[in-house]
Amino acid sequence: MKLLFIADPLEDLKIKKDTTLAMMLAGQKVSHAIYFGKAQTLHSTGAKVQILAQRLEINLTQSPWYKIVSESVEDLVNFDAVLMRQDPPFSVEYLTNTWLLSQAERVGAKVFNSPTALREHSEKVAILEFSKWITPTLITRSLAQIKDFHQLYQDIVIKPLDGMGGMGIFRVGPDGTNLASIVETLGQNGERSLMAQRYLSEIKDGDKRLLLINGKPVPFVLARIPQKGDIRGNLAAGGIGQARPLGPTEIAIANELGPELVRRGLFLVGVDIIGSHLTEINVTSPTCFVEITQQTGFDVAKFWLEELEMQIMRG
């Protein structure tokens, strides 16, 4: 099979823990042809959607860890699967990429995750659909509404809707210190919507990443535990990852969300859970494959590839 990965630059991938690289290695191990393309080279020629595709050979014992065997402009329909792994933010250019990928689907390309689903699914706002699992939540541009929310719940977290890796997350305690300043800065004086949520003290035990692959849960979560003095468990913000077997809450959330997300074309999803509360549903480039595999022996990338192969074979 020919697998095309549309992702951030190869030189930016972290060899020791990058999920996209783990996917590539899993494919190469079973002799699939691995291709890479930068999102910036996506383009259309009439109805065709094309990309500058680089055929790769991967060898982690060498530097650089990849060799470009060939390079050519290819139609996306020539690949058995197109894996969209571009990191947020969800900018106008990202949106344009999803439009091009939707056109590629119309002429026969197989894209994972579905570009339509990527457009329609906000990783933070999507939790509102599954409201029985969430902590009290407010989305607004209004400082007055956030002040009222803080008055009601006393201890809250405020974050932008387009952040990733824990960027821009602030906790405001009962004294309300810097609340107005935080909201005005993050919200650009009312120009951007923000999410406010009741603070979850369970964060000290970790922000759990549950991976759903073709609707099926990986049997372990990665609990990302904040460093002392921080509220963010994100690995990019210094959190420490600890793999744990699924508990009853994770199983219940997986059973409810999995089938519905698959129906929408979301093949790989990273669900974030604090305590028993759903906090985000990540679909752009979910991670944590490597950490779970290293700590448990369960080969997440192999599981992902086997599910992908079955999906491709079904057509």
- So which residues are the catalytic ones? 124, 159, 209, 224, 232, 272, 280, 282
Please list, in sequence order, all residues whose beta carbon lies within 8 angstroms of the beta carbon of residue 58, skipping any fewer than 6 positions away. Answer: 21, 24, 25, 28, 34, 65, 66, 67
The rounded distance, in Å, linking the Cα atoms of 218 and 10 is: 26
Selection from 52, 36, 39, 43 nearest residue 103 by Cα = 43
Which contacts (CB < 8 Å, 24+ apart) does range 103-108 have?
Answer: 103/44, 103/47, 103/49, 104/49, 104/76, 104/77, 106/47, 107/47, 107/48, 107/49, 107/77, 108/77
Q: What is the DSSP letter of 188?
A: T
The rounded distance, in Å, linking the Cα atoms of 48 and 105 is: 10
CA angle 181, 89, 54 (to 5 degrees): 155
Q: Reduce the DSSP state of residue 293 to 3 states and report it.
A: helix
* C-beta of residue 83 within 8 angstroms of C-beta of residue 112: yes
Question: In Å, how far are 10, 35, 38, 44, 75 from 52, measured between CA atoms?
Answer: 14, 10, 7, 12, 9
Q: Reduce the DSSP state of residue 219 to 3 states and report it.
A: coil
The rounded distance, in Å, linking the Cα atoms of 254 and 207 is: 16
